Amino acid sequence: MKIYKLPEDPEAFIFDIDSTLYTNNAYAFEQVDCQVREFARERGISAEEARRMVSDYRRKFGLENNGKKISLGNTLLAFGVPIEKSVEWRKKLLEPADFLTYDEKLVEELKILSEKYKMICVTNNPVLPARKTLEAIGVSSFFPEIVGLDTCYKSKPALEPFQTACRLLNLPAENCIAVGDRYDMDISLPLEMGMGGILVSGVEDVYQIHKSML
């Protein structure tokens, strides 16, 4: 865990979901690869060729942007796949319950946090699979609102999803803390907005967040 900044008066956490509220390498891979396979099917190319196209584009983007990462949604957009189509693919293809199970330690951690802070999720997945993910790990009740890819039709690190989260929380950015596993996607822009930021390497770090707030 790396704490970049904590607000003077924190009132809410804005959580990423995937590879933040759970750690599951198989599902992390499948989330990307199922869409790449669908892209290959629609283009009439092999899955291997599609994987190479995506990998090459992301590598080139990093080289041209000081090492920054680009989301899969924005990568596919560069290949002519509208965000709306990415949303439909994810709704159709993602089944988190095939990979994820109830996480008692996470439930206990979020119970502690929810006693003092508001919480919301901002994810690059649509709301439907995001909600299914939270249900699979047992924490859906802690997040009455999810800002998903089909909320703003913008993929993090766009400004709109984070602005929407603040509006739903009815709080200024300065009173919020963003938590996620990818600095470029989840933390960098929130810091620019005035939020706090906590970078995690997986759910094991999330289990310790309340201790960092003491």
Distances, alpha carbon 194 to alpha carbons 118, 154, 214, in Å: 17, 20, 21
| d(C-alpha 204, C-alpha 23), whole Å | 8
pLDDT value, residue 100: 98
pLDDT exceeds 80 at position 189: yes
For 26, residues 6+ apart whose C-beta sits below 8 A from its C-beta are: 99
What secondary structure, in 3-state letters, does 132-166 show? Answer: HHHHHHCCHHHCCCEECHHHHCCCCCCHHHHHHHH
Q: Is residue 25 a contact partner of residue 32, using CB atoms and an 8 Å limit?
A: no
> pLDDT tens, 16-48?
999 999 999 999 999 999 999 999 999 999 999
> pLDDT tens, 139-155?
999 999 999 999 999 99
pLDDT value, residue 171: 98
Nearest to 83 by CA among 128, 149, 28, 129: 149
Split at pLDDT 50, 70, 90, the class of 14 is very high
pLDDT exceeds 80 at position 165: yes
